[in-house]
């Protein structure tokens, strides 16, 4: 009986050893395969990102060139000579020979506290400004603007 038990035990041990060897071999194959797949997929992703980066750099260069053209266009269109030409040729406007204007100076407020004589430059509370003006000059100014 002992010899048959020894044979069964030894065959059982051989089976476990074979199973361990095949299992470790399959695990090693699976591990190496997964590393290779991971490496290849990373290379594919990096290649796609490289193409996308090149495309974005080309778009950036194109947009910078377009921006320079638009800046030049803005400078050309906002030139004072051009604006004056459009105003005089298309809109019939003329440059006034004399400009009349009125300057309104707010009166400084004198503090009512103990520090009498100190004037305040705070004009936020001031709603109305006083200016002496001649009505004839004001009429000339309005008529000059209407012409």
Give the residue with greater pLDDT, 96 vs 21.
21
Range of lowest pLDDT (5-9, 57-61, 64-68, 130-134): 130-134
Confidence at residue 64, expressed as pLDDT on a 0 to 100 scale: 97
Distance CA 19, CA 33 (A): 21
- CA distances to 70, 80, 82, 94 from 88, rounded to whole Å, are 26, 12, 10, 6
Distance CA 142, CA 100 (A): 9
Mean pLDDT of 104-119: 55
Global pTM value: 0.42
Task: Report residue 63 as tokens.
Answer: 């947009």
Q: Is the pLDDT of residue 1 over 70?
A: no
Distance CA 57, CA 1 (A): 83
Whole-number percent of the chain with pLDDT over 90: 36
Q: Is the pLDDT of residue 38 over 70?
A: yes
Residue ranges of the domains in the chain?
1-95, 97-146
Question: Cα 115 to chain center, whole Å?
Answer: 52
Whole-number percent of the chain with pLDDT over 70: 68
Distance CA 87, CA 144 (A): 17
Residues 6+ apart with CB under 8 A from 67: none
Residues 6+ apart with CB under 8 A from 68: none
């Amino acid at each position: 009986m002992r010899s048959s038990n020894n044979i069964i035990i030894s065959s059982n041990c051989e089976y476990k050893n074979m199973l361990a060897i095949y299992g470790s071999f399959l695990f090693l194959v699976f591990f190496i395969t997964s590393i290779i797949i991971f490496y290849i997929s990373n290379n594919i992703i990096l290649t796609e990102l490289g193409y996308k980066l090149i495309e974005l750099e080309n778009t950036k260069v194109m947009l910078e060139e377009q921006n320079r053209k638009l800046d030049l266009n803005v400078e050309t269109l906002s030139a004072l000579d051009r604006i004056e030409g459009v105003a005089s040729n298309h809109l019939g406007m003329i440059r006034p020979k004399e400009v009349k204007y009125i300057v309104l100076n707010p009166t400084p407020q004198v503090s009512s506290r103990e520090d009498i004589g100190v004037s305040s430059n705070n004009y936020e509370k001031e709603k109305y400004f006083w200016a002496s003006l001649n009505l004839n000059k004001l009429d000339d100014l309005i008529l000059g603007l209407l012409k």
